[in-house]
Amino acid sequence: MAHIDVVGVGIACMDINATVTSIPKIDENVMMLDYRKQLGGTVSTALAALQRLGMRTKYIGMLGDDEFGRPVLEGMRAEGIDVSSFRLVKGESSPFSFVMVDSMSGKRSIAYYPGCSFTVPASCIEPEAIRSARLLHVDISTPAVFAACEVARDAGVPISVEANALYPGLEELLAGGNIFISSREIMADLSNDKDPTSAGQKVMAEYKLDLVVVTCGADGSLAVTGGEVVSSPGFKVRVADTTGAGDVFHGAYLCGHLKKWSLGKTLRFANAAAAIMCTGQNGWADIPTLQQVEEFMSGHDAESGPETLS
């Protein structure tokens, strides 16, 4: 079996992105300026970022054999992600997201249709692939994810958990995980503490994690371990669309982590990759390569706050 750095089990989906004059309030009509279908998903986007950065990845999971599932499979294959364990199942519905992007700020609101994403069966899992990987990356709690985590724990393979919402079962996943990467909002909800540093420390202690990474949007990110807290400011860029930036951050952070870089170097690298992702509106096509991230960092000073499009 070919060497795999990261096996991912979790959400892979299509995004229908629409740029709007503003995010609509209840009973408000707004103008849609454009729309496009793009590849998305928390785990799949992180794997795509890892691939662009030179890592070898494998996706294990299931989607429907439909208008959304087939392009996701082809898109992952085009990125070089190992999809030999990817199932397309007739009669199942693939998940997709409708993403509204504010034309002024680049910020967005998302409506997610889960389809079969919460019910992926444990039978999808390929135990040997997980045992031979350097890391398992998961998000939502499904039978497949729990089965993958059990295999990883038995084999001593570290487990990285990410979350963009407080899904049912998240706390159970965290209790068996090693690394947790999520936003300051999620950390605040889990810890009842709005300060990112103390929230990260509380979450790490509560779930006995080895590492907690908190993303803070334009303000950068911070990492908490048992012995230290390190923060890194964000990069000032022209923000076109923040969709996927968090997932690219996760992939880039895991890349630096597996390369055994320092916390500070890894955070700065992941911040840069996420900043680059924010500057385009082309989905996975905007995920940077290792060379692009290095060139970006050499030409930019990290500083807090984005420069939004006017």
On average, the pLDDT of the chain sits at: 93
Is the pLDDT at 199 greater than 90? The verdict is yes
The domain locations on the chain are 6-23+34-308
pLDDT in tens, 205-258: 999 999 999 999 889 999 999 889 999 999 999 988 888 899 999 999 999 999
The pTM for the full model equals 0.92
Q: What are phi and psi of 244, to 5 degrees?
A: 85, -10
Burial class (CB in 10 A: 0-12, 13-18, 19+), 252: buried
The fraction of the chain above a pLDDT of 90, given in percent, is: 85
| pLDDT over 70 (residue 167) | yes
Render pLDDT for 30-45 as a digit per residue (tens, 0 to 9).
Answer: 999 999 999 999 999 9
Local confidence band at 307 (pLDDT 50, 70, 90 cut-offs): very low
Distance CA 179, CA 11 (A): 18
Quote the distance between the C-alpha of residue 72 and its chain's center.
Answer: 16
Question: Does the pLDDT at position 303 exceed 70?
Answer: no
Type of residue numbered 165: A
Tokens representing 2 are 């070919």
CATH class, domain 6-23+34-308, is: alpha beta
Residue 72: phi and psi, rounded to 5, are: -65, -45
Confidence class for position 308, pLDDT limits 50, 70, 90: very low
pLDDT at 310 over 80: no
Q: What is the Cα–Cα distance from 148 to 274, expressed in whole angstroms?
A: 27
